[in-house]
Structure 1
Amino acid sequence: MGQPRIRIEGLSVAYQQGQPILHNINLDIAKGEIISLIGASGCGKSTLLNVIAGLLAAHSGRVLLDGKPIDGPAADRVMVFQDDAVFPWMRVRANVEYGLRIKGLGAAEMARRVDEVLDLVELKAWQNAYPKELSGGMRKRVDLARAIAVDPQVLLMDEPFGALDAMTKERLQVEYLNICERIGITSVFVTHDLEEAIFLGDRVVVLGRNPGHIASVLDVEFAHPRDIAIKRTAAFQFQRGRLNSLIR
């Protein structure tokens, strides 16, 4: 096995008062792998994402990206949150261009990249719309498009579909998997939804709490591509039962 894209070694994080949030987290994540991260509220899921993003420093241990320590935020790691992060005063195309302008891309290269990403998330027909004219699911696709436009190596998802209705959530789950597979990106996906965790993840990492630690890891036994209908199968529900038992 080659070098992992992300290696987490002995990672511990504590509040300023010294109370631990995460303790001795060790995890290798392969290039192109999707890790679902699940656990009870307060176990440190978002904290772990923030450390990988470089937004929060470890108290001990380290996180490596392609063998190099992460010591701050960078464009090779992007995060998508539950709340919309689109700029309401910008049209869809301008939202997707935003990160590319910061990177200093030339006009022709930026136009090519934006067209490519809008096609990928199926928003080309809505490129001149304002966010207020879009559904919640479409705004989330704008968030995703803006994140992947800068060509990151790691996509960090912090309960991005948590506020959506069930049908929209399932549609976006399928689209997310298709996008990850097409661009070969590595992703860590935080969720409270057991079915979402299994459907999206190559592995499901269960965090325990007090302090946050890796309680168990579930290997997901379904090949790609995955169809949403797999959720209705006995094999899927068996894995859901296993995951529920691991969490309990």
Structure 2
Amino acid sequence: MKIRNLLGAYAVKRDIVFSTRVCENIEKGKYPGAYIFLPKKGIETKRPVTGLDFASLYPSLIMTYNLSPEKFILNSKDADITRKNGNTLHEISFPFNKRDIHAWCVRHDNQLEKKGLYPIVLKDLFNKRVELKTRLASLGKKKEQLGKVISSAKERGKRIPESLNLEYSSIYFDHDYLDSKQRALKVYMNTFYGKQKTQNLQSFFANWLEELLQQENSALILSQNS
């Protein structure tokens, strides 16, 4: 609901109106994909594992390929007409319910007037988060420096000036406040592609994967001993 309200606020500015009625008879099925788990440190010492993390991967893909409902084309005839009108299209194809789904989306070619509603909202949220994280980095350094000064004074048994305590408390509060805001923006961005809904499945799959690995290791030990 919050995402819908946010999109609605941006849509009005672009003279776009959309229905809030819940669609019925939606075809259900499974999509190909994977869930990425964070690595457990120390689980493998002989062959260290490194992770490659893309910053805001899925929101970045939505912004790059202009993935927005009003920019989608669902049949080849309309795609040909749109292409002949000078638009660049990105073709999408994936298996769903034992058949291949084909669609196209209009690329924005870095032109603001061609950008869809989703990419515009995400770009705005992304820029706001970058700005907050820049301010966080600066406050973080100040907080760390003051923390070291206060800790050093305590270790030497010296009296800590009230002004220093007040300054540290103020910086700590501002840092915590900005961090909460940037985390809220991250949740907004992630909710665009449903990440928050998949978090509930993490513990289930983690336990299942651990049991599977234990079974494979047991089978390997038995085969070596036989």
Structure-1-length-normalised TM-score: 0.24
Q: Mark the structure with the bigger radius of gyration.
A: 2
Structure-2-length-normalised TM-score: 0.26
Higher normalized contact order (CA 8 Å, seq sep 6+, divided by chain length): 1
User: Between Structure 1 and Structure 2, which shows a larger proportion of helix residues?
Assistant: 2
User: Between Structure 1 and Structure 2, which shows a larger proportion of strand residues?
Assistant: 1
